[in-house]
Amino acid sequence: MQAVGYARDQLVATGSPSPGVSLTGTTNTSAGIVFDARGNMWVSDLSGHLYRYDAASLTSSGTPTPAVTIDARAVVISTTRTSLSWPTGIAFDSGGNLWVANRDSTLVRFASGQLVSTSSPTPAATIATGSLRSGLKGLAFDASGALRVGADYDNAATSELRRFTSPGALSESVTPTASVIVTSQGPVDAMFMAFSLAPANLPINTL
Q: Domain-by-domain residue ranges, the chain?
A: 2-200
Angle at 49 between CA 45 and CA 53, to 5 degrees: 80
N residues, the chain: 207
Give mean pLDDT, residues 13-29: 82
CA-only gyration radius of the chain, Å: 16
pLDDT tens digits for 126-179? 775 555 556 777 888 887 888 888 777 655 566 677 777 766 555 544 555 655
Residue in 92, 91, 82, 1 with CA at minimum distance from that of residue 47: 1
What confidence tens digit (pLDDT) does each residue in 80-93 have? 555 777 888 899 98
pLDDT of the residue at 52? 92
Model-wide pTM > 0.95:
no
CATH of domain 2-200: 2.40.128.630
Q: Read off the pLDDT band of 76 (50, 70, 90).
A: confident
Q: Bridge-partner residues for 107, per DSSP?
A: 101, 127
Q: Is the pLDDT of residue 78 over 50?
A: yes
